[in-house]
Chain A
Amino acid sequence: MSATAGTVERVDLAATALRDLNQRLHDQAKAAEPIGHWQILNPSGAHALACGLDAPIEVEIMGHAGYYCAGMNKRATVTVHGNAGVGLAENIMSGVVRVTGNTSQAAAATGRGGLVIVEGDASARCGISLKGADIVVRGSVGHMSAFMAQTGRMVVLGDAGDALGDSIYEARIYVRGAVKSLGADCIEKELRGEHRDEVAELLAAAGVEGVDPGEFRRYGSARKLYTFHVDNAGSY
């Protein structure tokens, strides 16, 4: 399937029901010639915008988005030209979701693949229960980010709030700024060459230039909570 190039399909949410918009976007998955480029006008903070997409299309949201924007995205590239609410790109499977402003809690929650880019700040629980997706935040992330993160990578150019990586499994976290505190079983680890390469790769994918990967510190699991031991009961 190849997307039709050149044309931009504009949908004005002031005049179109969200349900009809999402249905049209979903229909691109089966379309012989999907419309490759969409612009959503007047999003006005609507929830569940462009969620459940499964086509190699580009969707631009021209304003602020509400909860669960681009939720469970597959293959599509979704850009929010504004801020996004709770659960941006939750459970993303593949593709790219970018927010030019800030985003609320639980950005990329449980994400399993693809890339989520936040050009401003992300609030609490960014990357909670991450399952394989990559996250790049140009600003800072709030408390409990990467809580129980299982696998995947999170790069934060700014600071991280309290309890970063609490109960983390095998996800890898890179923070350039200050970390207010680390959560249970999360420790700082050595930033080796392969990690610098990894950060460089993610920064490049997110379009971030002029930042030295060597400025980041790496955090991950101490793996002490992997199997219950009564002497660790205070950490549960």
Chain B
Amino acid sequence: MSEAFRDGLRESALYDRTTIHEIQRAAREGIYDIRGFGAKRKVPHFDDLLFLGASVSRYPLEGYRERCDTNVTLGTRFAKKPLHLRIPITIAGMSFGALSAPAKEALGRGASAAGTSTTTGDGGMTPEERGHSDMLVYQLLPSRYGMNPDDLRRADAIEVVVGQGAKPGGGGMLLGHKISDRVAEMRSLPKGIDQRSACRHPDWTGPDDLEIKIGELREITDWEKPIFIKVGATRTYYDVQLAVKAGADVIVLDGMQGGTAATQDVFIEHVGIPTLPAVVQAVKALEELGMHREVQLIVSGGIRTGADVAKALALGADAVSIGVAALIALGDNSPDLAEEYAKIGTAPGFYDDWQAGLDPAGISTQDAELAARFDPVMGGRRLANYLRVLTLEAQTLARACGKSHVHNLEPEDMVALTIEASAMTGLPLAGCDFAFTPESFARAMSSPEGGLMIDSTPP
């Protein structure tokens, strides 16, 4: 920009270079932009919250000496065999097809080493991921690619996918160049064609049908498996209440920042609400039903650090889930591949063409040569390291707040850094004694003095 300014050039805020480029591309190619990754726009997020560490009024726990537990049990409501995770961070659903077989194997290896679960995706269950995942969640998606009762019984939990954060209301998409022989066989599709998978389930519509569908899944699996319902964050309060009514053991809530292997950019950036307000709505819905902690809540969409983990838990989630961050941990967008990225017109830190199947890291590809570059043992090790770092970071923050279990973190431990985050979470603004909520406004407006600053009601 400074260079342009020197030359007397002025870039439009409305028609910036990215926008102009996209108009030109659309005019040239005649198809919407399809890409991977998640939303790239800036939205209110966990970064807009801060923890209040303990001091005089609270005392902290000693790092390394006083315990801060991280275990979580999922599926305590109805399932005979709930999932017992050592850490409250799971691996989100990502399909074989979107990802290479060795990448799926690495996710299983890393998750198992860290004591957590991984999840299939819109392409069925592969022996690689089942074999390398101590705990595997099997997704039931609208496409039902590869769905079969043997895999249902082989799974440790079943996730009914209603939507995902990157595209609530949208179906799956896998472009022809990723439909290899093996992918085609697993999905019962001809090789090399564009997969157009449905956005609605073929055999149920609405919460009443969903309840019956869940009943069937429980009957097929003899009531053993926890049943998750995954929703993209939109009308979260209502969706969560309906999912509980439909019989979910666990709600998986994916905010708009949630990743995808292939979705229209317009969908990724413009549909759904951010994870931050979604988790608050979900917890409110569960609390009002008396089901908070009875039905567990897993939150995903932009979980990158132990701080994100801790903040999601403090807002009331039981666990979080990672997708994009897990792929980055495996080696996606690595600077080591800068030259290779340059050859396909991108660079480390920007690569999002996961739909294209040209991934030089061998992760988001079905090209046998590219996939063979990826070492699943090394990838699994990196993922396990990353999961352990996230856990250590979350524990550090929890101990600083005086908590002996990460689940003991609570909203009271946090403040908001922005007015938006305060309004979305109901947390007080840092250094102030009020939150930007309808209630605090109503109190302020009805006080004799008027104005927010004199409202001293504890938040």
Residues of A within 8 A of B (CB): 18-19, 22-23, 26, 47-48, 51-52, 54, 66-68, 71-72, 74, 86-87, 90-91, 93, 105-106, 109-110, 112, 125, 128-129, 131-132, 147-148, 150-151, 167, 169-170, 225-228, 230, 233, 236
Contacts and interface: CB of A to CB of B under 8 A. Distances in A.
Interface centre among B30, B149, B189 (most CB of A within 10 A): B149
A52 B188 contact: no
Contacts, number: 109
Given A72-B149, A93-B148, A169-B190, A48 B202 contact: no
A110 B176 CA distance: 21
Interface of B: 29-31, 143-144, 147-149, 152, 176, 187-190, 193-194, 196-198, 202-204, 209, 212-213, 215-216, 219-223
B216 A51 contact: yes
Given A110-B147, A131-B188, 7 more contacts: A19-B219, A22-B220, A22-B222, A47-B216, A51-B219, A91-B144, A129-B202
Nearest to A21: B219
B212 A230 contact: no
A110 B222 contact: no
B144 A167 contact: no
A131 B196 contact: no
Nearest to A90: B203
Given A48-B212, A86-B209, A225-B196, A230 B148 contact: no
B219 A18 contact: yes
17 contacts: A18-B219, A19-B219, A19-B223, A51-B216, A51-B219, A66-B212, A106-B202, A109-B203, A110-B144, A125-B202, A128-B203, A147-B202, A150-B189, A169-B190, A226-B176, A226-B190, A230-B30
Contacts of B198: 129, 148
A170 B148 contact: no
A23 B198 CA distance: 32
Contact of B220 (A72, A129, A227): A72
> A-side binding surface: helix, strand, loop or mixed?
loop
A72 B212 CA distance: 15
Contacts of A47: 212, 215-216
A189 to B, nearest CB: 16
Given A48-B216, A129-B143, A87 B203 contact: yes
Contacts of A169: 189-190, 193
Contacts of A51: 216, 219-220
A86 B31 contact: no
Contacts of B203: 68, 86-87, 90, 105-106, 109-110, 128
A191 B2 CA distance: 70
Nearest to A25: B219
A234 to B, nearest CB: 13
A71 B152 CA distance: 13
A212 to B, nearest CB: 31
A208 to B, nearest CB: 26
Nearest to B220: A52
Contacts of B197: 148
Nearest to B198: A148
B196 to A, nearest CB: 6
B196 A227 contact: no
B216 A68 contact: yes
Nearest to B144: A110
A227 B193 contact: yes
B143 to A, nearest CB: 7
A156 to B, nearest CB: 18
A227 B30 CA distance: 13
A54 B196 CA distance: 31
Contacts of A90: 202-203
A131 B127 CA distance: 21
A59 B441 CA distance: 64
Given A110-B144, A230-B31, A128 B202 contact: yes
Contacts of B219: 18-19, 22, 48, 51-52
A171 to B, nearest CB: 10
A26 to B, nearest CB: 6
A147 B197 CA distance: 11
A68 B213 contact: yes
A163 B410 CA distance: 53
Contact of A67 (B30, B188, B212): B212
A170 B216 contact: no
A91 B196 contact: no
Given A23-B222, A226-B190, A71 B204 contact: no
